[in-house]
Amino acid sequence: MTLTLRSSTSFVNPKETKTFKFSDDFSGTTLCFSQIIKASCRLRAKNSTSMQRVSHDKISISDEKLHGLTIPHAENNSKVPVYVMLPLDTVDHGSYLKKPKAMNASLMALKSAGVEGVMVDAWWGLVEKDGPLKYNCVVAMSETLAGFSIPLPPWVLEEISKNPDLVYTNRSGRRNPEYISLGCDSIPVLWGQTPIQAYTNYMRSFRDRFGDYLGRVIVVLEIQVGMGPCGELRYPSYPESNGTWKFPGIGEFQCYDKYMRASLEEAAAAAMGKKEWGKSESHDSGQYMQFPEETGFFHAYGMWNTEYGQFFLEWYSGKLLDHGDKLLSAAKGTFHGTGTKLSGKIASIHWHYNTGSHAAEQTKDNFSH
């Protein structure tokens, strides 16, 4: 989870160097669900061709010359607040603040420059590293392995070592430890807890520890809920570690752990008796660094555009939407009444958007197709 804090916020004794954890903030589009979600947190995929109507407040504009530029101003002289993301490695593996004197100087410089506040992260791997339900909350939230390698909690990694199917898996059997597979969202695989319950308990511990700060004008304004790799609601379809994937490869589907396979078989059985679809999977969908036309599934007249292909892609995307819905519902219930806004992230994958199959988007989440 990622927190948005006003610049005047202080959780730390200046003499201390061991401080609050920071979760990973990631690239991608930030969606604020506080206005979208009313009675329900249900996520819905929109066709990329659909248009959204946006109403704008009427503003009175006056012109002012500044170095030859014409600058519009709102009549109430309002400004756009700017928040700066702190480095992902602000807190190290031992939960210590790195370079506290330099950080203090940087924060003072940001404040003097007019920055409204900062964004920091709360790592699950640090907060709950001592064991299940043993929390050491000191600030920020993500249930993921970040690019600079804050791993999942040790007790979770121990469970993964005993049951490798707990993490996302590609067709060739490569496991990805960035995030727990959503295929086991509702299965008690973590010391009697489901992953959703573990994430919820994590958020509750944070709420209970910092309840006095949540929603206050000068402290925690927004909580960004991590819902996948790098905090984004997506599959880890393009892992860059060890050169596995490089731009502009199409990536690979991540649905070959036993829990995702079982879900596909169940969905196929419910699809007008198409049991064989549960075994077919995405044959010939290519490898991480291939192009769409090099595969049987994604080329212009490939399987993606068949009845089976559409079934598979809708199932793959639907599972992710359901995962996001569960997490946001849990977050909404946890932080209800605190006055804190909730948000989430969706990755902006675009490099094969002009092809009919949208291959890179399909392996990631299929939201844009």
Distance CA 48, CA 311 (A): 19
**Do 219 and 345 meet the contact criterion of CB atoms below 8 Å apart?**
no
What per-residue string of b and e applies to 29-65 under the rule 16 or more CB within 10 Å gives b?
Answer: ebbebeeebeeebebeeeeeeeeeeeeeeeeeeeeee
Whether 20 has a pLDDT exceeding 70, the answer reads no
| Burial grade of 192 (CB within 10 A; 0-12, 13-18, 19 or more) | exposed
Average the pLDDT over each of 64-78, 79-93, 202-216, 285-299 and give the range with the smallest value: 64-78
Q: What share of the chain is helix, strand, coil (3-state, %, to 5)?
A: 30, 15, 55
The per-residue pLDDT for 85 is: 87
Residues 176-199, mean pLDDT to the nearest whole number: 96
Above pLDDT 90, what percent of the chain? 36
Supply 294's token pair.
Answer: 């090099």
Higher pLDDT, 86 or 76: 86
Average the pLDDT over each of 113-127, 132-146, 221-235, 281-295 and give the range with the smallest value: 132-146
The per-residue pLDDT for 35 is: 29
Above pLDDT 70, what percent of the chain? 73
pLDDT band of 6, cuts 50, 70, 90: low
pLDDT tens, 106-136?
Answer: 999 999 999 988 888 778 888 888 888 888 8
- Say what angle helices 307-335 and 258-270 make with each other, to 10 degrees: 120
Higher pLDDT, 280 or 194: 194
Q: Which residues neighbour 309 within 8 Å (Cβ) at sequence distance 6 or greater?
A: 297, 302, 303
The per-residue pLDDT for 112 is: 92
| Look-up of token digits 């101003």 | 73
Distance CA 216, CA 242 (A): 43
Higher pLDDT, 86 or 332: 332
Whether 94 has a pLDDT exceeding 60, the answer reads yes
The per-residue pLDDT for 354 is: 83
The per-residue pLDDT for 25 is: 34
* Arithmetic mean of pLDDT over the chain: 77
The per-residue pLDDT for 52 is: 38
Which of 9, 15, 261, 189 minimizes the C-alpha distance to 115? 9
Q: Mind listing the domains of the chain with CATH numbers?
A: 2-9+81-364 (3.20.20.80)
Within 10 angstroms of residue 338's Cβ, the number of other Cβ atoms is 17
pTM for this one? 0.73
The per-residue pLDDT for 349 is: 82
pLDDT tens, 351-360?
Answer: 888 887 888 8
Distance CA 163, CA 192 (A): 14
Type and span of the H or E element at 110: helix 100-112
pLDDT band of 22, cuts 50, 70, 90: very low
